[in-house]
Amino acid sequence: MILTSQQSLVIIAVIALGTILTRGLPFLLFPSHKETPAFILYLGQVIPFAAIAMLIIYCLKNVSLLAAPYGLPEGIAIGFIIFIHLWKNNVLLSIGGGTVLYMALVQFVFT
């Protein structure tokens, strides 16, 4: 489907408006001279952990423990991520190292 110039401009305008609203609305709703509501502070504390939990579940949803390779690449990579994070306490190193190890395992070891 080919868009006309007018349709493209409307799409760009809607995306720009959405971006402006999502970036500016928090400053309008929660100005710096007012105290941030307790519920928003609570959400700021729990949402990062909930998001990570959802990502882990999503990544492991198709892993079969009953068929080869029995979830071994995933388990090894998760163990490595936990070890590196506890050792170095560096999120980027943990995620990057775990990703590289997992990719190496599935490409070269568990083929």
78 assigned to some structural domain: yes
Average pLDDT value for residue range 51-61: 94
C-alpha distance from residue 5 to each of 10, 13, 19, 32 (Å): 9, 12, 21, 41
Give percent of the chain above pLDDT 90: 98
| pLDDT score of 51 | 95
2 assigned to some structural domain: no
Tally the domains of the chain. 1
Average pLDDT value for residue range 28-41: 93
| pLDDT score of 82 | 95
1 assigned to some structural domain: no
24 assigned to some structural domain: yes
Q: How far is CA 59 from the centre of its chain?
A: 11
Average pLDDT value for residue range 52-70: 94
Half-sphere exposure of residue 89: CA atoms within 13 angstroms, side-chain side: 0
Over 90: is that where the pLDDT of 1 sits?
Answer: no
